[in-house]
A and B are shown apart, each in its own frame.
Chain A
Amino acid sequence: MTGALRQLMQRHGTAVYRYCREELRDATLADDVQQVVFIEANRDLQRFNQRSTVRTWLFAIARHRVLDAVKARNRAQAHVAGSDATEVPDPVASLDVSLDDARLYSALVECVGKLPPSTRTAILLRYQQGFTFEEMAEVCRERAGTLQAKVTRALPLLRDCIQNRTGGSL
């Protein structure tokens, strides 16, 4: 069992973490959620019926735990009015090319963060994780066509958002 868990973590740990991080925009919370995902996966591994791929199954768990974490955070923030636990995107973190790219990247992170949660999930699963719409349908328990429509509608919105923030460049 431990061997299977190790393999799961090695293969999918980073992807799950990045997904959680972009969904939650909070490194500590993403770390917690990522661990919970693999603890649950380990617990349910024997019941995994292989109707979907392991990756799809893992991301379905991750999506649920992210939703739980968001709810918990919203409840906590309701008690601490005015606080903002989400991270301010750090453009320098992605500075592997030019300053323009860094500005674009920073705007992209912000604009993705402003998408409605279900649309953000669809965008992340589709582009960050490279899922097909059919796989996304299994993860989100929504119809593939619905998810495709969400993604198609979100792209121009993202483009406009980035262009507004960067002064027109994309």
Chain B
Amino acid sequence: MNATPPTNTAPLAGELTVEWLQVAELAELRRANRKKVMVAGTPVVLFLIGGRVFALRDACVHKQRPLSRGTILHGKVVCPGHQWKFDPETGQAEDSDKCQPVYAVRVDGGHVYLNPQERVPDTVSRG
């Protein structure tokens, strides 16, 4: 695998030891700006938002509804179940302390790679 450093996420401790998984082609995200993938048995949704690819666990932290059936409004991921809004990069919910698990993503040569290690809320810098 090419060792291009990720450009859309801050480096995290231990990241370099993690194997990046190729999970999708960028072209696959273009049509609906999203794609569902499975990562080690966990459903993950990739979103193409403002030219960047983000990955979130595809079961809302609130009531486990699939975010892949939601929408993107003003750069936020909106859950279809109860309209919780999440920052796609940090997973931080609007109007709540909760965080949706997110994954680091990088795109290289049209391929989308994902770091399968979920980023837990404590490592996320809050805006």
Instruction: Tell me whether A and B are bound partners.
Output: no
Chain A interface residues (CB < 8 Å from chain B): none
Chain B interface residues (CB < 8 Å from chain A): none
